[in-house]
Amino acid sequence: MIATTAAISPYREVRDEVRRAHEATFVEVFVDCPLEELVRRDKKGLYAKALRGEIRSFTGVSDPYESPLSPDVHIRSDIETVAESLAKVVQWLKGHGLIQSE
């Protein structure tokens, strides 16, 4: 069984600590997207509010985000389709023996 969780984890130190605690089973998938594209996609307008200073401590705008130095999988959601991104994750899992090829 594979459990997946999406988490905004802005600090490398915290992610590294979680990796150490779950070394055999932790897979870091970095979903990377430029701020301009995040603003464009944002249906709730939270990025626009954060950029105007209406929301304080907003990760990636007024609060830092430390990109992973060497994620297991690096997704570029601004230039990859969902299918391409999923294929990268599945290929990594297969390549590391966490799921079997069909």
14 domain residue, yes or no: no
What pLDDT is attached to residue 22? 86
> Within a domain: residue 5?
no
* Residue 68, pLDDT score: 94
Q: Residue 74 forms beta bridges with which residues?
A: 30
Given the residues 9, 57, 77, 85, the one annotated as active site: 9
Sign of the four-CA dihedral 24, 4, 94, 32: negative
- For this structure, is 9 an active site residue? yes
What is the domain range of residue 37? 31-65
Rounded to whole angstroms, how far apart are CA atoms 33 and 41? 11
Cα separation, 21 vs 16, in Å, equals 9
Task: Convert the pLDDT of each residue in 54-78 to its tens digit.
Answer: 999 999 999 999 999 999 999 999 9
Place of tokens 């089973």: 25
* Domains identified in the chain, total number: 2
Residue 3 confidence class, pLDDT cut points 50, 70, 90:
confident
